[in-house]
Amino acid sequence: MTEQEQILFACVDNCCYFKLRGALRYTNATGMDDLVERLFSHHTGCHRVVVDLNEASFMDSTYIGLLAGLARYCQLQQLPRPTLFSTNAEVNELLFSLRLEQAFDIVQQPTHQVFAMAAIGTQQYTEQQQGEMILRAHEALIALNDSNKSQFQPVVDLLKQQLK
């Protein structure tokens, strides 16, 4: 599986559908970050969001923070809570430990998508842009709940110091 195949996207009947595969790390998160920024900065026809993690084998805190940011965008745009599908027990444990059920409707079963999806490749971010993406992701995790704040505030403080 190449990096381009890790993020698949389609917008069908005003539903934005993300399919994320493999090991999802900050090193391959630029495509997802760029896609989410473009989608919600241009008032697209996206009225509902679905995220399929059934083929995700691992997620780091940056990627989970990107998901938290996606949920925040939905809330700000007054869209319904996004739906997240995941059958991987390890991924689910991480999602629930970071309280993503507060921002997503998590469905622990497979999806049966039957439409074509476009592969989204990684974007060329500068070191500064990548640092800002990681900072935004961790700030989104902190905004989700207080237990995340105690866990990720030192990371945020360090990133802010390094990005000056």
Range 84-90 average pLDDT? 96
Range 7-34 average pLDDT? 93
Read off the pLDDT of residues 100-144 as tens digits, 9 standing for 90 and up: 999 999 999 999 878 899 999 989 999 999 999 999 999 999 998
Q: Rounded distance, CA 46 to CA 44, Å?
A: 5
pLDDT of residue 113: 79
pLDDT tier, 43 (very low <50, low <70, confident <90, very high otherwise): low
**Domains along the chain with CATH numbers:** 3-124 (3.30.750.24)
pLDDT of residue 57: 93
Return the biggest CA–CA distance within the chain: 46
78, exposed or middle or buried, with CB in 10 Å at 0-12, 13-18, 19+? exposed
